[in-house]
Amino acid sequence: MIEARAETIGSLIRPDTLLEARQRGTEVAAAEDRAVRDAIQMQEAAGMQIITDGEMRRASFQSQMTEAISGFGAWDLDAFLWGDWFADEGAPPESRPRPANLGVTAKLRAKRFLSADEYIFLAAATSKTPKITLPSPTLFANFYDPQISGAAYPSLEALIADVVDILIAEVRELARLGARYIQIDAPHYPLLAQPATAAFYETLGWDAAQWLGLAIDADNAVIDAAPEVCFALHICRGNQQGRWLATGGYDEIAAHIFGRTHATRLLLEYDDHRSGDFAPLAQVPADKWVTLGLISTKLAALEEEDMLCRRIDEAAAYVPLERLAISPACGFSPSVLAGGLNETDQAAKLHLLAAVADKVWR
């Protein structure tokens, strides 16, 4: 079990030097290395005990799958955004049209490991606990289109089974390399709890309850592949350039996920009213920790320390304080697209995070 009281979610803001190198297409690897080292230094200076590489080497938090695995056909950043219903404050989420010809076109084949090189570099550059993030297998349902995928995969279940196998091989390799903390990102879970977005998933063959069961089983197969590793399950409502993805509390999915997931830490978004109240935490089993995502990565305004302490106390009415931790609600930059915060805002929020953890649990 990882017992740190404060952690980042994964992605950090990409510096301009990295974005410029990507745009030029030259010296990208060197720019990534510098960006990762700077991200590590920033997190350590803030007092973080769990360190990520900021996902500096990825176009999106889930893009290492399409970068490392052949068979996905043509794709770009829009491949990870089209099925997301991002909206601004006060506006309902709206679906984007599916890009033409997006989808798996052949059997998936590994060209390399997804994140092993990320882990090796990160672990060598920090004395703290390194954390690697991986996508939940069923996120890749967005790439299934019977018309262009059917020859390789006659059913969505067959595609997901191969994605699970790829991720099982990944976590086993990460464990062999020494990784002891891995985060599974599952932002699609809240989509299954709201009718407008659940309808999309239901067009692929199952109702929302069946989808939830399939997703949890797939996640658990990946988690069970490395019993020596502590796994966290990150369930959020999205953050793309400060816009949100889903709304509604955890009430509809808590009983299914909290009790059935084999992850030992639940990373839950609680930074605004869209997350609902803490009551669903009463369904968290006694062998799991909850990391409360209380700090916004959408709004630059710095939260008040006393307010954060009060909210932790409120959550402790459902999960004992000794099994709680805190984090930002989501990644600061889940893709290379810039959001509403800058690097100064980001550093201030991480310093606040560590200060609150020290005040509450010292």
| Percent of the chain predicted with pLDDT > 70 | 91
Mean pLDDT of 154-168: 96
CA distance 249 to 256: 14
Beta bridge partners of 133: 183
Report field, pTM of the whole predicted structure over 0.95 = no
Burial per residue of 139-172, b for 16 or more beta-carbon CB atoms within 10 angstroms, e otherwise: bbbbbbbeebbeebbeebeebbebbbbbbbebbe
Position 241 confidence tier, pLDDT thresholds 50, 70, 90: low
Per-residue confidence (pLDDT) for residue 312, from 0 to 100? 98
Span 129-139, pLDDT tens digits: 999 999 999 98
Question: Which DSSP category does 79 fall into?
Answer: G
3-class DSSP state for residue 130?
A: strand
Residue 273 has what pLDDT? 80
Average pLDDT, rounded, for the chain? 90
Per DSSP, 299 falls in state -
Q: Which residue has better confidence, 63 or 116?
A: 116
**What's the pLDDT at 1?**
81
For residue 87, pLDDT over 60 is answered with no
Residue 323: Cβ-neighbour burial (10 angstroms; 0-12, 13-18, 19+): middle
DSSP 8-state assignment for residue 152: T
Torsion of CA 238, 143, 230, 220, to 10 degrees: 120
Output the six-digit token pair for 247: 């709304």
Q: Flag whether pLDDT at 265 surpasses 70.
A: yes
What is the number of residues in the chain?
362
Residue closest to 22 by CA, chosen among 69, 77, 59, 65: 59
CATH class of 16-361: alpha beta
pLDDT: which is higher, 236 or 148? 148
On the 0-12 / 13-18 / 19+ scale of CB atoms within 10 A, 5 is: buried
pLDDT value of position 99: 62
- 202 or 318, which is more confident? 318
Determine the pLDDT at residue 240.
Answer: 67
Inform me whether the pLDDT recorded for 41 exceeds 50: yes
Tokens of 335: 């893709």
Number of CB atoms found within 10 A of residue 125's CB: 18
pLDDT at 83: 46
Nearest CA among 337, 196, 323 for reference residue 258? 323
Least confident among 151-160, 270-279, 341-350: 270-279
pLDDT above 70 for 100:
no
Distance CA(336)–CA(26), nearest Å, equals 17
pLDDT value, residue 243: 60
**DSSP string over 183-229:** EEE-TTTGGGGSHHHHHHHHTTTS-HHHHHHHHHHHHHHHHHT-TTS
- What would the DSSP string read from start to end of 218-262? HHHHHHHT-TTSEEEEEE----BTTBB---S-SHHHHHHHHHH--
pLDDT value at residue 198: 76
Domain boundaries, the chain: 16-361
Residue with the bigger pLDDT between 131 and 239: it is 131
Give the span between the Cα atoms of 289 and 323, in whole angstroms.
Answer: 5
Looking at residue 84, what is its pLDDT? 44
Check whether 269 has a pLDDT greater than 80. yes
**Nearest CA to 114 among 58, 153, 37, 160?**
58
What is the rounded distance in angstroms from the CA atom of residue 13 to the CA atom of residue 341?
8
Percent share of the chain, pLDDT over 90: 70
DSSP code for 347: H
> CA 340, CA 74: separation in Å to the nearest integer?
30
Helix, strand, coil percent content, the chain, rounded in steps of 5: 45, 15, 45
Q: Kind and range of the H or E element at 147? A: helix 146-149
More confident residue, 202 or 253: 253
CA 98/CA 170 separation, integer angstroms: 29
For residues 70 and 205, the model is more confident at: 70
- Copy the structure tokens of residue 101: 């010809």
pLDDT band at 297 (very low <50, low <70, confident <90, very high): very high
CB 101, CB 73: distance < 8 Å: yes
Amino acid at 212: L
Q: How many other CB atoms are there within 10 angstroms of residue 74's CB atom?
A: 11
* pLDDT tens string 166-198: 999 999 999 999 999 999 999 888 877 777 777
Least confident of 11-20, 49-58, 79-88, 122-131: 79-88
Distance, in Å, from the CA atom of 49 to the CA atom of 6, rounded to the nearest integer, reads: 7
pLDDT in tens, 300-333: 999 999 999 999 999 999 999 999 999 999 999 8
Q: What is the pLDDT of residue 149?
A: 93
Confidence of residue 30 (pLDDT cuts 50, 70, 90): very high
